Structure 1
Amino acid sequence: MKTPTRLTRTALPTALTLALLPLASQASSRAAEYFERVATFPVYRNLGANEDAAMQTVAEITTVSRDGRTLIYTDSPGERIGLVDIRDPKSPKPAGFVQLEGEPTSVAVHQHYALVAVNTSLSYAQPDGVLAVFDIRNPAQPKRVATIPMGGQPDSIAISPKGRYAAVAIENERDEDLNGGLIPQLPAGFLRVVDLKGQPKRWSTRDVDLTGLADTAPGDPEPEYVSINDQDIAAVTLQENNHIVLVDLRRGRVMRHFSAGQVDLQGVDVEENDRIEPIGVLKGKRREPDSIAWVGPLLATANEGDYEDAEGEEGGSRSFTLFDYNGRVWHEAGASLEHAFIRAGHYPDNRSENKGIEPEGIAAASFRKQDFLFVGSERGNAVAVYDVARPWAPAMHQLLPTGMGPEGILPIPSRNLLVVSSEEDSAEDGYRSTISIYQYGAKAAPYPEIRSTANSLIPWGALSGLTADRTLASRLYAVPDSYYKASRIFRVDASKTPAVIDGQVELRKAGATVDYDLEGIAQASNGDFWLASEGNGKARPNLLVRANARGEVLEEFALPDEVAAQQTSNGFEGVAVVGEGADMRVYVAVQREWKNDPDGRARIGVFNPASREWGFYHYPLDAAPEGAWVGLSELTSLGNGQFLVIERDNQQGPAAKVKRLYRIDLRGLQPSSEGQRFPLLSKTLERDLLPELKATNGWVLDKVEGAAVDTQGRLFVVTDNDGVEDASGETRFMRLGAVKR
């Protein structure tokens, strides 16, 4: 038996426990290394000069050429495969497309051939497809050399490590609009084995019948995903049937099969009520695995939980599982994976009643003798990396932010690279399908930059305002916006890396929770908090709210009628407090122009709590990029009449142009009342935030929302992740050094 510290050891021991025990003692003593994102390639860059850059184009499943220099991905909407040059992984370059006769569902590489599974079905009742084989010795000009009929609608394809076989899952997927999407819906799926002997035109195929195995719809197996070990044993998931099948590819027969079983989940959010409440219990949820990977002698499944039966019971198992060869569970993640996403701010509350974070992709590989399992969350937009030196007890190693809808996970150990393709693409909504490239070898995990404490489960997201404690260094406070109900204040310990949300206070008014749209927070000298709640120009008014340290709302201050009459849907953003007693003044930034404001002039209001009087300045906004707007996001006092202002456009990715921090000085200027001419402020660029937003080589985030300067003069800036809805969920917590006070 080979040395049992490598994932390539896939012999199937009869005494599995004895076989695995050496793994624990032989684990490497090297210092831990981590994956770090080095590039993000927006797939639309591969479009031709004559194609509209806004057209939908995606990367779903990705593979790599044998030399590790060219990525090949499936573009389903375009009915083609795309190529990306990664000779320099930090600077991927578009390498064009190859048109197909149908929808590509998967792609794999054997020697110098790319094998593309193509769905050419006329209908669900008449499934069909081919295996298109391309010679890619010249990646710039792939040459089609064979077309092999598949006899049905193909899905996943895998190549055996020894290069003897390809296995194609012929899913013959169901029509989800027919009979409520219930199976059986014939014709049944099967596994097609391709013998990779000789030239592609001479490759032969064999079919393996998968009917009669599962308890659920045994006559209609829908094979979803296939993975092959170095003993030429294919593991196949039947997702809708909640079943796993092991196939001996040499003999072309089923060796073993077993139910994927059920899982009980404790501490999950089961209600879509605009609150992350991981307190629910789900009993007996079918795992319904999507992808599968060999981890040494074990099998790891990503349990998406996709199917609803005739009784309306769904999967939604939200986990991953490690099985042995006989179907015995060696590790069940349960709710722990979802909890990790909650702590990192990546939980999609809008999926709580469905499948939560929806684990979908899974892969395993060894990097520098370190064994890893990668689990992708389709809805949480991240990949969890586990150390599987002891595969029966995976240990969370790190979390990697991705684009939206990560689908394909591709380890490339020969180049110390990991590639993740994310398929969600909507130019209209500002996000695009991307390929993220990570390099192994970082000395510390670069992400998350802020998370909640491991001691208790504190859900968070959509951070929209930030302030520093008046007396304690490294103590910050943050607020979420109206994406979540039950407004609260988070305590942040910025002395740690990542920063840690170690407490929260729920705001209450007369004992009841409140639902503000909090966009700013500041702390007064007596410890009270002043909060800016943004109005929407309709039922929700712009409010200044004063609350004590226990979260009790003490006062609400609305705008005078004559001022409120000018407001639009863009209202209060940042807030700052200076002075005390009768000298206290509360400053608030309005995001964009109101009705009677000149173009390019946003208001900064000044409120006197003692007299209840308001005055205003005009702030000159930068010119907006074409098709965009520019507004204010934050206001932070530096003392002595000076403030920092975040000014940003509403763009993301390559379209983002204005993400800036300006300094303004109000000394010697008196605000004017409504109806008078407001003094026009001057501003000085303090920091261009775009370089820092680009520094982590990801999709540039839109909402730079919070800024704080602590007692030691250190500047912190945070982004709003929009609650992981139509957004990647990534949160940047930027430490920008000292600022002159």
Structure 2
Amino acid sequence: MKKAALLFIPLWLGSCGLSGDLQPPRALHTEAGLEDFDRQSLSTRPGKSARFSLDAEPEYITVSPDSKTAYVSLQESNALAVLDIAGGKFTAVHPLGFKDWRGSALDASDKDGKVNLQLWPVLGAYMPDAIASYRVGGQTYILSANEGDGREYAGFEDEVRVKDLLLDPEKFPDAATLQGSSALGRLTVSRVDADTDGDGDADQLVSFGGRSLSVWSADGKLVSDTGSLFERTVAAQRPAAFNSEGTAETFDTRSDNKGPEPEALTVAQVGGRSFAFVGLERSGGIMVLDVSRPGQPQLVQYFNDTDASATAKSGRAGDLAPEGLLFIPAADSPAGRNLLVASHEVSGSVSIYAVADSGELSRLGRYQSEPFAFGQGVAEISAYDPGSKRLFTVNGQTGGLDILDLSDVTAPRRVDSVDLSAYGRGANSVAVHDGVVALAIAAGTKTDPGQVVLLNPQGELLAQPVRVGALPDMLTFTPDGRTILVANEGEPSDDYSVDPAGSVSIIDVRQALARR
């Protein structure tokens, strides 16, 4: 494993597509916060502080094709924020509201021993993790993988089971029945959203996550939602591993808590159509949907070739827990065809799929880290550099970066690893543009500022790191390559004694590379 040492090289004028660029100079780093919205009345999910800028926790970013606007998921707050990149300011926050499970079935119990999809008097907070954007008919749409996530700290507990709530007798006249273990009693719901009138009992039940893919307009209005499609599809095609951790030994154990848990997401144009690829973190596998008509997403395929009969910890089950999805267009592909790369944090594996014009996936190759390390986050987020034909994969076990050679997509192999321990406790995310590999590094204490580290494809340091906000998570280059955006979650300390504000760091790539 190599250490990332500073490499002194001349700054190339054409880096990041900026040759001949006469744009006025920009600041190296701008921190966009959400404090302007603290004074607004927003119907978002509050944390302990009940101060929006502290509770927001930016999670994921997608950028418009013209590189002017970024859309940021605020997962725990159940909202979508809009960022003016050039202005360095958030211009809007759109609360996403709730879906109604009385119109779309879900399995709410892990103790009924069966697939049991029913309509229930429950709302679901969408709470997206990954988001992606695409355009249809001149309009921008946002896709969201509605994973869900509660705030659980020693100083603040968001989650509670329905059986442990006092239900309002007028809203829930059949409370005794609903709170049974085979009904809603086991379902994990939000404590902070339950009591709407302040009288001490629960007036509504709000579960975490939509268990779905949603399509939103650019101003945060719901265009469509896949409802119970993911649970119904897994039940039909992989019933032995329904709402599990990926194999039959944990059948139905996730029904009480976010179900299949859609988390990873990417969108691509293939064969003249738009396809969304959604990774199910718990049930495993990838849902492929045709989203060419934003109001009517259509299921194309559920790809899951794991061995559900195997014991997960044995290493023989296959790919478990897709954490990151990456589309490589044919023009950049080492195989000359459209590819999808899936990184799996539980199995520590990376799989390469061919993407047909129909959107369907077929496996081409697979990398398995050795020795097998179950559930250690060995393969989390990946990014690809077409110039070197290398894949860069965040290794959550070491906190470093693994470099895979993708010259032969049927046999990806690790060629190097980069030790990042000098910059913090480990990498959370990676992105690549024009031969620049950018990494978001969290500090040893998560409430301290993190750093962005820039490497070349050989894993050598290109410039001095850039200090960013607390707990940097997802980072991305804008399509024009001029800017790196970093979502800084700003999670509180476990006892809530320190609660940094969430933010998005806006980094000028040219100036960052000049800091040799």
TM range (shorter): 0.3 to 0.5
More strand by share: 1
**Larger Rg computed on CA atoms:** 1
TM-score (ref. length: structure 1): 0.32
Normalising by structure 2, report the TM-score: 0.46
